[in-house]
Amino acid sequence: MESKYDHQKFEREIYRKWEDPGAFKPGNGKKPFCIIMPPPNANDPLHVGHAMFVAIEDILIRYQRMLGRKTLWLPGTDHAGIETQYVFEKKLAKEGKSRFDFDRETLYKMIWNYVQDNSNVAIDQIKRLGASADWSRKKFTLDPEIVDFVLDTFIKLHQDGLIYRDLKLVNYCVKCGTAFSNLEVGHEERKTPLYYLKYGPFTLATVRPETKFGDTAIAVHPDDKRYKKYVGQEIGAEGLLGKFKIKVIADSSVDPKFGTGAVKVTPYHDHNDFAIWKRHPELPKPAQVIGQSGKLNQNAGKYSGLRVMKAREVIVEDLKRLGLLVKVDENYHNSVGVCYRCGAVIEPLPMKQWFLRVKPLTEKALEALSKKQVRVYGSGHDKILKHWLENLEDWNISRQIVWGIRIPVWYQKNSTEYVVAKESPGKNFVQETDTFDTWFSSSQWPVVTLKTNQPKDFETFYPTDVTETGYDILPFWVMRMLMMGIYLTGEVPFKKVYLHGLIRDEKGQKMSKSKGNVINPLVMIDKYGADALRMALVIRSTPGQDKGMGEGDVRGMRNFSNKIWNAARYINLKSQNSNLKTTIQNPKPDREFYKRLSQTASLATKHLSNYRIGLAAETVYNEFWHWFCDEAIEKNKRQEISDKAIFEGLVTFLKLLHPFMPFVTEAAWGEIKKQKTKNNEQRTMMEEMLISAEWPK
């Protein structure tokens, strides 16, 4: 054995030695254990978030496998609709092209090929972390059988009356060219000038003067004495496009203390105004003034064709000139909806979209939570999940992008009639151009991956045991899987949810490319080994709690890998010269040694079965280094503890450490097995490979 553990020399070879004979397959255990891997974007390079989920899930999987359970970690990849199309369009832009240069089929094909070319990027990198997943069962969200299942789900939902098409104000990103669900809209505090405009006898405060051509009413609070006389009346006013008339209504959502206590109602360009409009059926149908291009349309008269911000500028100038601008509050701050993907301001636009009625699904999910059919690990996130479920609005599942599963709806030409079907119902029908939100397929992931795999997989492994992911996608993925899993099967899709925290830099700041403080997991693996990275991520981590981490942490754990290796080397060198002595020379110290060894094993086991992974890692770390190495091995050198005890101690610790640091423990296992199996008793203690060894009691 070399005096230093060389991870580069072992990792790839050991991974093959596990995978080739099928060590990642479920095996013959009686009690099943299953985790569905969160499907990473098919072509996404590895980041530290992936490393975190692999580390934690692989620990759970290896632990359960060693306990002898029929263990399945089912992997897959996601087409990641908007994410992927966004990346692809950026690539097109570099070549001086845009998506509008291609027809739908060509564009889809191009993205498909692009994803194919990169499809192994994520998988190969996840393998480098040591993920012991059953790759023979891997699924991709656009595999034909998956698509087929997802379409069936939509049809079933439609039959059950949970799907509807409606004109609503949706969150539209002009830059990405698609609508989003409410969840994908971020809110940012921004300085936005507040303009006070003259509307006949009223002065109204607004941050969006450019939408005034879509004004449908003026609203005041019902108890506001200043304006009571106008309520119900139509007032005349001078505007940019000449004289106009507008109705005054009373609505209790108006805050009399804000601005002048009177507000313009622009239903097609503001969510709140849309809600007011819905409450007042006496109001006329509103006009839309901004189109999907982000430019003002013909309803804005001479301002049509201007982009929103430019239009605001020009219109404010004109209002000023006409004396219709009373004053401007330049220091006003408000919260603006922005696209989570590209950061552009979200434009609320009226569009016909497909919605999923969520109430019947959230009710069942809440029931499952209150019956404790699902347990959430992650400080406070159980309450957050509940809050989400109690307040969830209908889910807009339409996206105006091509990279995704096309909605199976067919419209009859020159008619509003439509048919929901997988195949075209006839020549006079054209298919809906929208695709599903990526999360629509992800929400069915535990069900669909098990149902389209080996014959008995679904029956054996559903409901799965744990779902594990970062808390940042709790509402996007976990909540929706819970809803859809129950809907499709009548049972929860998982019994436990483990939400890991986000990894920050060593100063506790968020990692971002622009800050340059990103830890690249592949660089860490190359430098210090996958084991070191995994252990650094996991040790003393707490579910739901963020953790700061730097290269020093990884280096420290690399030192630990080396410590493990050298403990094995110590035993090997010893037995090279003479057979290990099996006679117990000092019964009392040995007894104490065995006692602490078994206490350590049961403590680690207790922590792991309670999903206290960070604590389990810390326990085995401390006991191995500071007790087994620093004390016990030193005593063995002085023959105060027997060789047999030390050998058995090492065997136990390699097993306890294996889920956390699989490569170095497997390498060390191989070395001691190779070196010393003359002694029968020792040989029978060691199974062929550590990955399939039995967990210590």
For RNA, the binding residues in 617-636 under the rule CB under 7 A are: 618, 621-622, 625-626, 629-630, 633-634
Stretch that binds RNA, among 111-119, 314-322, 558-566, 638-646 (CB under 7 A): 558-566
577 binds RNA (CB under 7 A): no
Q: How far is the CB of 532 from RNA (least distance, A)?
A: 9
Q: Is 678 a residue that touches RNA (CB under 7 A)?
A: no
**Binding segment toward RNA, per CB under 7 A, in 114-122, 149-157, 559-567, 659-667:** 559-567
Cβ proximity to RNA: between 103 and 255 the closer is 255
Question: In the set 275, 314, 421, 580, which binds RNA (CB under 7 A)?
Answer: 275
Number of H helices, E strands in the chain: 22, 27
User: Which residue from 284, 305, 343, 380 is in contact with RNA, where contact means CB under 7 A?
Assistant: 380
Residue with tokens 């101690």: 649
Q: Which is nearer to RNA, 27 or 256 (CB)?
A: 256
Question: Which burial class, exposed, middle or buried, applies to 22 when counting CB atoms under 10 A from its CB (0-12, 13-18, 19+)?
Answer: exposed
Choose the stretch contacting RNA; rule: CB under 7 A; options: 62-70, 71-79, 251-259, 364-372: 251-259
- Tell me the closest approach of the beta carbon of residue 615 to RNA, in angstroms: 5
Q: Can you tell me which of 567, 620, 646, 668 binds RNA, judged by CB under 7 A?
A: 567
Least separation, in Å, of the C-beta of 545 and RNA?
4
Angstrom distance (rounded) from CA 560 to CA 538: 14
Residue 219: closest CA among 203, 234, 231: 231
- Report the 10 Å Cβ neighbour count for 610: 11
Under rule CB under 7 A, which residues in 443-502 are in contact with RNA? 501
Beta strands in 207-321 (DSSP E): 217-220, 234-239, 242-250, 262-265
Of 206, 216, 353, 441, the one binding RNA (CB under 7 A) is 206
Minimum separation from the CB atom of position 120 to RNA (A): 30
Residues 6+ apart with CB under 8 A from 93: none
Helix (H) or strand (E) holding 145: helix 144-159
Give me 467's structure tokens. 């779902």
Site string for RNA, 121-140 (x = CB under 7 A): --------------------
Q: Report, in Å, the least distance between residue 139 CB and RNA.
A: 29
**Contacts of RNA in 635-654 (CB under 7 A):** 637
Kindly state whether residue 608 participates in binding RNA, applying the rule CB under 7 A: no
Stretch that binds RNA, among 3-11, 17-25, 454-462, 483-491 (CB under 7 A): 3-11
Q: Which of 163, 186, 175, 187 is nearest to 398 (CA)?
A: 163
Of the ranges 13-21, 84-92, 145-153, 250-258, which one interacts with RNA (CB under 7 A)? Answer: 250-258
Exposed e or buried b per residue across 326-361, where buried means at least 16 C-beta atoms within 10 angstroms of its C-beta: eeeeeeeeeebbbbbbeeebbbbbbbebbbbebeeb
Residue 508 as a binder of RNA (CB under 7 A): the answer is yes
By C-beta, is 391 or 514 nearer to RNA? 391
Helix axes 521-528, 551-577, angle to 10 degrees: 30
Considering only 95-103, 232-240, 536-544, 688-696, which stretch makes contact with RNA by CB under 7 A?
536-544
Give the pairing type, strands 494-500 and 375-377: parallel
User: Which structure tokens are listed for 254?
Assistant: 């108006």
Among 406, 555, 581, 673, binds RNA (CB under 7 A): 555
Q: CA–CA distance from 381 to each of 475, 491, 494 (Å)?
A: 10, 21, 16
41 neighbors 101 (Cβ within 8 angstroms): no
538 vs 205: CA distance, rounded Å = 52
The edge-to-edge listing of strands for the beta sheet with 70-74 is 70-74, 32-36, 464-470, 494-500, 375-377
Q: What pairs with residue 194 in β-bridges? A: 329
Residues for the chain: how many in total? 697
Q: Is residue 259 within the footprint of RNA (CB under 7 A)?
A: yes
Minimum CB separation of residue 222 from RNA in Å reads 13
Count of residues interacting with RNA (CB under 7 A): 83
Binder of RNA out of 30, 94, 243, 257 (CB under 7 A): 257
Six-digit token string for 316: 């404010």
Closest CA to 542 of 598, 458, 614: 614
559 binds RNA (CB under 7 A): yes
Amino acid at 437: D
Token pair in block for residue 123 = 């998988």
Identified binder of RNA from the candidate list 119, 292, 379, 460, rule CB under 7 A: 379
What is the contact mask toward RNA in residues 326 to 345, using x (rule: CB under 7 A)?
-------xxx----------
Q: Which of 91, 104, 187, 191 binds RNA (CB under 7 A)?
A: 187
For RNA, the closer of residues 122 and 568 by Cβ is 568
How far apart CA 239 and CA 613 sit, in angstroms, is 66
Min CB(490)–RNA separation in Å:
29
Nearer to RNA by Cβ, of 158 and 555: the residue is: 555
Cβ neighbours of 119 (radius 10 Å): 14
**Which among 160-168, 226-234, 487-495, 614-622 is the span making contact with RNA, rule CB under 7 A?**
614-622
CB of 504 to RNA, least distance (A): 5
Neighbouring C-beta atoms of residue 316, cutoff 10 Å: 18
Give min distance, CB of 320 to RNA, in A: 18
Whether the Cβ atoms of residue 538 and residue 557 lie closer than 8 Å to each other: no
Interacting positions 385-414 with RNA (CB under 7 A) = 387, 391
**Of 184 and 465, which CB lies nearer to RNA in the complex structure?**
184
